[in-house]
């Protein structure tokens, strides 16, 4: 049995996982973001309360592990930023620990038991608060040692003009320190920035999508510009990776008409012509962060037990 954690900047979710068919939810608690001792104590308490001692800990986390230094890069949870988190947790918890980015865990779960089943190359795209993703090739996560593959939200690639008729999009500042990143205009907060830019009106992404579905012209314009901005970079990701399917996770994935519009626009821009949906809502029935972390944890522990 493993204990899998899905750790975000707001909430820690945990489950005891014996197999992909046996996932027992445990506690759901607020994330202690500013105190590492409190962060560890929270995890330790969940492990201690489990019915049995686990083989190890598998963690999906909202951050990136540098593949060379193993240091965590995580703005949402300051107390772990810069730490060699896997080694620190292994020492503090006294158990094997496997860590991976939440986008990577989502992609791995979708490739194994979700919308990516049967596809050789799966790119899992996250459209949540911001933009992220992960890449799985022939069932194997590319970022097995940590790394930045799949981070298509960053880099100054956002179009300077979008929509029909085109409207100028200024190079907005991104949390990564650059300007003009897709992350600044492509997630839920990005959609809200676009709406304010276009209409000088503040609305939540949920309100914008609902108004668009209700036929409101202003919201329709925002969604048109949003889809134009996001579909071009996503088509390039498909061209570069050769992905045959792009499951989408994050809050915006719940708006299925929005994902259908993004799918159509992306397929019109890819080099390969798809006569079926390419960009689809994620289909993993259990929390994909927990499932992806558990998959990676079982594989890592089994490999350690039976080295080639």
Name the token pair of 290: 């927990």
Distances from the Cα of 22 to the Cα of 19, 73, 78, angstroms: 5, 32, 33
Domain for residue 147, yes or no? Answer: yes
Name the token pair of 115: 């919308």
Domain for residue 206, yes or no? Answer: yes
Domain that holds residue 243: 115-281
> What are the helix (H) ranges across the chain?
36-48, 85-93, 102-113, 183-186, 188-199, 205-213, 217-241, 256-267, 288-305
75 and 133 co-located in one domain: no
Question: Considering only CA atoms, which of 12, 20, 7 is closest in space to residue 298?
Answer: 20
Question: Considering only CA atoms, which of 160, 157, 178 is closest in space to residue 169?
Answer: 160
* Pair 96, 124: CB distance under 8 Å: no
- pTM of the predicted protein model: 0.93
pLDDT tens series, the chain, 308 aa: 999 999 998 899 999 999 888 999 998 999 999 999 999 999 999 999 999 999 999 999 988 999 999 999 988 899 999 999 999 999 999 999 999 999 999 999 999 999 999 999 999 999 998 999 999 999 999 998 889 999 999 999 999 999 999 999 999 998 888 999 999 999 999 999 999 999 999 999 999 999 999 999 999 999 999 999 999 999 999 999 999 999 999 999 999 999 999 999 999 999 999 999 999 999 997 889 999 999 999 998 877 665 55
122 and 61 co-located in one domain: no
- Residues whose CB falls within 8 Å of the CB of residue 122, separated by 6 or more in sequence, listed in order: 107, 110, 111, 116, 135, 136, 243, 244, 245, 246, 247
Domain for residue 108, yes or no? Answer: no
26 and 91 co-located in one domain: yes
CA-to-CA distance for 301 and 306, rounded, in angstroms?
A: 9
Beta bridge partners of 3: 16, 57
Q: Work out the number of other CB atoms within 10 angstroms of the CB of residue 50.
A: 15
Count of structural domains within the chain: 2
CA-to-CA distance for 283 and 292, rounded, in angstroms?
A: 13
- Residues whose CB falls within 8 Å of the CB of residue 154, separated by 6 or more in sequence, listed in order: 174, 176, 178, 181, 182, 183
* Pair 8, 293: CB distance under 8 Å: no
Note if the bond before 165 is cis, omega within 30 degrees.
yes
Q: What is the pLDDT at residue 303? A: 74
205 and 230 co-located in one domain: yes
């Amino acid at each position: 049995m493993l204990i899998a954690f899905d750790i975000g900047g707001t909430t820690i979710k945990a489950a005891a996982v014996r197999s992909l068919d046996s996932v027992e939810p445990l506690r759901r608690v607020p994330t202690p973001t500013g105190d590492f001792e409190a962060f560890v104590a929270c995890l330790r308490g969940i492990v201690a309360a489990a019915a049995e001692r686990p083989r190890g800990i598998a963690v999906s986390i909202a951050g990136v592990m540098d593949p060379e230094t193993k240091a965590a890069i995580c703005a949402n949870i300051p107390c772990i930023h810069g730490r060699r988190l896997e080694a620190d947790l292994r020492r503090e918890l006294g158990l094997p620990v496997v860590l991976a980015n939440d986008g990577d865990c989502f992609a791995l779960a979708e490739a194994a038991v979700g919308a990516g089943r049967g596809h050789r190359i799966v790119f899992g795209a996250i459209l949540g608060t911001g933009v992220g993703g992960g890449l799985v090739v022939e069932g194997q996560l590319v970022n097995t040692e940590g790394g930045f593959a799949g981070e298509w939200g960053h880099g100054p690639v956002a179009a300077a003009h979008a929509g029909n008729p085109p409207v100028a999009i200024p190079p907005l500042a991104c949390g990564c320190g650059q300007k003009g990143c897709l992350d600044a205009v492509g997630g839920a907060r990005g959609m809200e920035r676009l709406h304010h830019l276009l209409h000088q009106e503040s609305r939540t992404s949920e309100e914008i999508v609902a108004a668009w579905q209700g036929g409101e012209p202003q919201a329709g314009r925002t969604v048109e510009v949003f889809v134009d901005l996001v579909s071009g970079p996503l088509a390039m990701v498909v061209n570069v990776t050769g992905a045959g399917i792009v499951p989408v996770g994050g809050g915006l994935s719940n708006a299925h008409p929005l994902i259908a519009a993004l799918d159509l626009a992306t397929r019109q821009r890819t080099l390969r012509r798809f006569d079926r949906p390419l960009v689809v809502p994620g289909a993993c029935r259990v929390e994909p962060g927990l499932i992806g972390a558990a998959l990676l944890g079982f594989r890592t522990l089994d490999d350690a037990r039976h080295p080639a």
